[in-house]
Amino acid sequence: MATTNLSAYDKNALPDAKDKRIGIVVAEWNADITENLYRGAEKTLLENGVAKENITKLYVPGSFELIYGAKHLLNKNTFDAVIAIGCVIQGETKHFDFVCEAVSQGIKDLNLQYTTPTIFCVLTDMNKSQSIARSGGNLGNKGVECAIAAIKMASLL
């Protein structure tokens, strides 16, 4: 929502993340946005006890490839959660719709196929200004929100 700061959370309400291992797949497309999302996620994981050496980063070309990258990490069976970070911005064609649908369904499918949770951290905005606002701008950072989700979901196992 446009009125919700994505970076607001209660650190005391989180489970212990000290021994958690988190894989993060980052799309290179819209790299200025995805790198901000990654920095927000990494900082949040570190602040909540995840050791730097327990965070693995994997780059893929674009958001469509996040599914394969996440599956690659999931197949290693060494992570407590995987975060898929991407950004798709509406253009003049239907490409936006196809990519958004495929990525959301693909990540949903990974959550059904694997016992390790995959967190959806893909911005699907109408314009670049919305992406900036949600990747460290005036609405916070969706990467922070997804890191919190990863910690919570990893603790369910």
pLDDT tens column, 103-131: 999 999 999 999 999 999 999 999 999 99
pTM of the model: 0.95
- Angstrom distances, CA of residue 57 to CA of 35, 53, 60, 74, 84: 11, 10, 10, 13, 10
Q: Give the pLDDT confidence of 13-37 residue by residue, as tens digits.
A: 999 999 999 999 999 999 999 999 9
Catalytic residue among 18, 76, 95, 108: 95
* 72 is known as an active-site residue: no
Question: For the chain, what are the domain ranges?
Answer: 19-154
CA end-to-end distance (rounded Å), the chain: 29
Task: State the average pLDDT for the chain.
Answer: 95
Second-level CATH architecture of 19-154 = 3-Layer(aba) Sandwich (3.40)
